[in-house]
């Protein structure tokens, strides 16, 4: 057993101890605090589930709900993309203090128990306006971030992949402060959060650990009658512990600048270490029975030179008729620049010979650039049928349009896509809350 492994284990068990502590708080006897009031000190269990079938992908591109999952290829069927089971325990000790834990079981690269623990926090509500939380919560980047696992809570088969597929961190270990206030005709919430997070990201055939430390953010939501709007900003520093990136960097580092002038710079640039990302987000929902309109825009500003800045957005229109809601949606994501064009070694010029190690290195670097570009849009139509007050059946058909070298949001088996491509995805799922 290597010492690194031991160290990792120690850090893990320290974290685990924290969760056990919180679980203890949850299962503690709330009666301890109970007085005559019927309402102080209570514990409640609730949950949500989705059983979903997805059909999609082709031989090159695998459909995936987000980049923390493996893809569905060859127009195959999969229940792994959307199916999820969540259970939540809320324990209210008195009017000010409460604790919540939520387990979410779904397909993940890292199947450890700790990864399935989505929430575990202690909350102190100082008054009606100020509330503080410490522990593990969801990274609140965009409108649906908080509840993207809960199919019953939104209209579509899943949150639009163009928008939510690239968000690969589920949870944050840290603190947040919420200020909410009732204004004469509206309701305002402002939230500030800070913390860290470790997740698994899949690129090509590798799955590696992505560490986000720190992540800080602020967002405000404003509900005014039929309108609800949101604006948010978050900043993260990311470290991606990728062996293949490290090998590429090491190899580039060995090439003298006299032979390949860009090699030393590329050797630095290919590493996703200590890179900052800024997330800007705007969202609007208009809900006036029978119509519901929802849209969001985001801009990801990246300092990783192999991941260009990316703009994404969606707009959805829904119409309710009895227990059916029919919807259509358009979503798109577009990197600001195309793949970074790597200048091949030119002193002396090398032959385009795949057997030449230098040429291989050049190809590998270019492929990394090609791999991280998003250029796609999707048109979706579908329906949600509320079978009862807590069960909803959804069906959705997506038509995806990808530009060459724009397949970042797809699982790829080997080479990046070098031509435009259309793909279809069919989804059926049953969603419930209990």
Contact residues: other proteins, CB under 8 A: 37-39, 42, 44, 46, 48, 86, 88, 90, 92, 95, 100, 102, 119, 121, 123, 125, 128, 133, 137-138, 146-147, 149-150, 152-154, 178, 180, 182, 187, 289, 323, 386, 388-390, 392, 433
Kindly state the smallest distance separating residue 60's Cβ from other proteins, in Å.
36
Q: Which is nearer to other proteins, 6 or 387 (CB)?
A: 387
Q: Please report which helix (H) or strand (E) contains residue 245, including its range.
A: helix 243-254
Gyration radius of the chain over CA positions: 23
Q: Which is nearer to other proteins, 138 or 373 (CB)?
A: 138
* Spatial distance between the Cα atoms of 118 and 265, rounded to a whole number of angstroms: 39
Which two structure tokens, joined as six digits, stand for 65? 């709900």
Q: Which is nearer to other proteins, 86 or 345 (CB)?
A: 86
Kindly state the smallest distance separating residue 146's Cβ from other proteins, in Å.
4
Q: Which is nearer to other proteins, 36 or 419 (CB)?
A: 36
Kindly state the smallest distance separating residue 134's Cβ from other proteins, in Å.
12
Q: Which is nearer to other proteins, 42 or 367 (CB)?
A: 42
Kindly state the smallest distance separating residue 162's Cβ from other proteins, in Å.
21
Q: Which is nearer to other proteins, 1 or 38 (CB)?
A: 38
* Spatial distance between the Cα atoms of 367 and 310, rounded to a whole number of angstroms: 18
Helix (H), strand (E) counts: the chain: 6, 19
* Spatial distance between the Cα atoms of 205 and 349, rounded to a whole number of angstroms: 31
Kindly state the smallest distance separating residue 182's Cβ from other proteins, in Å.
6
* Spatial distance between the Cα atoms of 318 and 155, rounded to a whole number of angstroms: 8
* Residues 406/417, Cβ–Cβ less than 8 Å: yes
Kindly state the smallest distance separating residue 189's Cβ from other proteins, in Å.
8
* Spatial distance between the Cα atoms of 417 and 425, rounded to a whole number of angstroms: 18
Q: Please report which helix (H) or strand (E) contains residue 180, including its range.
A: strand 171-182
For residue 147, the Cα-to-chain-centroid distance in whole angstroms is 11
Kindly state the smallest distance separating residue 199's Cβ from other proteins, in Å.
19
Q: Which is nearer to other proteins, 129 or 337 (CB)?
A: 129
Residues 6+ apart with CB under 8 A from 318: 155, 291, 292, 293, 294, 325, 326, 327
């Amino acid at each position: 057993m290597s010492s690194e492994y031991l160290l990792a284990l120690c850090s893990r068990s320290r974290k685990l101890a924290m969760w056990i502590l919180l679980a203890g708080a949850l299962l503690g006897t709330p009666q301890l605090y109970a007085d005559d009031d019927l309402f102080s000190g209570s514990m409640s269990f609730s949950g949500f589930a989705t059983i979903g079938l997805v059909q999609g992908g082709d031989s090159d591109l695998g459909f995936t709900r987000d980049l923390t999952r493996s893809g569905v290829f060859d127009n195959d069927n999969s229940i792994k993309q959307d199916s999820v089971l969540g259970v939540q325990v809320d324990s209210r000790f008195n009017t000010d203090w409460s604790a919540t834990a939520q387990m979410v079981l779904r397909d993940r690269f890292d199947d450890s128990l700790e990864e399935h623990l989505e929430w575990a926090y202690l909350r102190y509500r100082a008054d009606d306006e100020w509330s503080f939380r410490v522990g593990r919560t969801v990274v609140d980047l965009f409108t649906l971030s908080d509840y993207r696992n809960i199919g019953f809570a939104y209209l579509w088969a899943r949150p639009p992949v163009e928008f939510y597929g690239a968000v690969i961190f589920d949870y944050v270990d840290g603190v947040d402060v919420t200020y909410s206030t009732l204004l004469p005709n509206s309701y305002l919430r402002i939230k500030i959060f800070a913390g860290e997070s470790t997740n698994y990201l899949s690129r090509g055939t590798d799955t590696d650990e992505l560490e986000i430390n720190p992540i800080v953010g602020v967002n405000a939501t404003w509900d005014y009658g039929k309108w609800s709007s949101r604006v948010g900003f978050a900043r993260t520093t990311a470290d991606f512990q990728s062996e293949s990136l490290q090998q590429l960097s090491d190899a580039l580092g060995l090439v003298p600048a006299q032979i390949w002038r860009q090699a030393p710079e590329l050797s630095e640039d290919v590493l996703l270490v200590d890179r900052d990302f800024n997330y800007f987000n705007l969202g609007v929902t208009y809900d006036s029975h029978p119509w519901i309109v929802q849209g969001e825009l985001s801009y990801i500003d990246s300092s990783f030179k192999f991941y260009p800045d990316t703009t994404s957005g969606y707009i959805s229109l829904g119409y309710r008729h009895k227990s059916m809601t029919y919807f259509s949606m358009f979503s798109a994501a577009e990197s600001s620049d195309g793949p970074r064009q790597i200048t091949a070694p030119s002193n002396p010029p090398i032959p385009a010979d795949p057997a030449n190690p230098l040429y291989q290195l050049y190809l590998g670097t270019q492929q990394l650039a090609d791999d991280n570009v998003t250029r796609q849009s999707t048109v979706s139509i579908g329906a949600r049928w509320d079978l009862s007050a807590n069960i909803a059946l959804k069906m959705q058909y997506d038509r995806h349009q990808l530009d060459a070298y724009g397949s970042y949001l797809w699982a790829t088996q080997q080479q990046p896509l070098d031509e435009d491509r259309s793909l279809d995805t069919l989804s059926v799922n049953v969603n419930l809350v209990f």
